[in-house]
Structure 1
Amino acid sequence: MTARLVPASDAALEAAAQALSAAPVDSPGIRDHAWLHAEPAEALRRLQLARDHRIEHGGLAWVVLADEVAVGYISARIYDDGHRAETFSVVARANQGLGVGLEARRLVLEALAAAGVRSVVSLARPDSASAAISRKLGYELSGAETRAHPEGFRVELERYELQLKA
């Protein structure tokens, strides 16, 4: 399956929201991504808020396409110094395990390196696909964090860091 990134326009986010909201509510780990169990309109609203927040704080946002169909969302926050970034991504359950998330993250890392970013952080639940992707791409585990989720619960995350080559 070939992955490609497109700017996170409202139309692209609408297609991603349809794919992301198709996951059954009882899927493992579903709480961590609130839009995965929301109706499409609510998923779209949440994706638009996430995109707008990223861009407002110096970041970039894309919709992930697999074989030209929207299947996810990925973003990067570039910190004030321009040399550090943090990534976030989510891929529809039906497309997980097919290499789409790995290829999307690789594409984002290439874009960040081209923009002069030298250090990238990714936070992931232990034993999640995101953690596995981080390890496959050469990130090193550098600690753990607990973050508040917008729906009121706390999420335990591992912190992975990657140094990009100049």
Structure 2
Amino acid sequence: MTVERTSPPTLAGERESLESWLEFHRATLAVKTEGLNDAQLRTASAPPSDLTLFGLVRHMAEVERHWFRRILSDEDAPPLYTTEDDRDKDFDPDPEDTFEEAHATWQAEIARARELAAARTLDDIGAGKHRTGTQFNLRWIYVHMIEEYARHNGHADLVREAIDGVTGD
């Protein structure tokens, strides 16, 4: 499946700009995983780091779930991969875990995030509680998600380049 990635519009309102940049970055991570086999998706590029594209996709599924389902909407949405004992388990798939499952879960979390955000204004304050007790509006969540994806897409670019030389934004 070829991922279609659309550049954000240069003349847009605030919400359209935020949503289009988030969509652009979601698609960018998907592009970084295209055409790779299981071994490549599990390859860490820069020892001692064990960061992989597989782990990044699982991590972003957790991040989407956390900010949109838990913080924005106060849904009962327990972690997908992490545990109290291993808060970084999302980055470390087991041998029996499949990328197909991780990718499908990530896409499902994105779909749910879109649905939940569409029902709110940028100024709406999330119904859930962050562990710090801090409240967040949808605008802040969008900006944070863009930052989270942008940072991890930089990692993904380096990992992908080390795997097969493919680079790009």
- Per the normalisation by structure 1, the TM-score is 0.27
Higher helix share: 2
Larger Rg: 2
Higher strand share: 1
Higher RCO (CA 8 Å, separation ≥ 6 residues): 2
- Per the normalisation by structure 2, the TM-score is 0.27
